[in-house]
Amino acid sequence: MDVYPCEGHENQYSDCINDDVCAYCGNGRQDNCELCDGDLYEPRPCAWELDQGFTGGMITRCNETCDGYDTSDCTTD
């Protein structure tokens, strides 16, 4: 598979790699500067992944800024 830089080619190549600084958070692809983007392929237990006192729930998606996880489904029972 060929890979192209996205800059100036966003509509031409669907498999481009974005080297820009998190300009495309929310596109469903994890770009270089993002921890994640959109739904996670493999949901993770909140208690295992985060050191925030969670005891239950699953992490299933990225937060809105792509620099962390959405913890809205995590619990602290």
Report pLDDT for 62: 93
Q: What is the tens place of the pLDDT at every residue in 7-65?
A: 555 555 555 555 554 668 888 888 888 889 999 888 999 988 668 889 999 999 999 99
The total of structural domains in the chain comes to: 1
* Domain, as residue range, for 20: 1-76
Q: DSSP readout, 11-61?
A: TT-TT-B--SSSTTTTSSS--TT-S--SEEEEEEEHHHH--S---B-EEEE
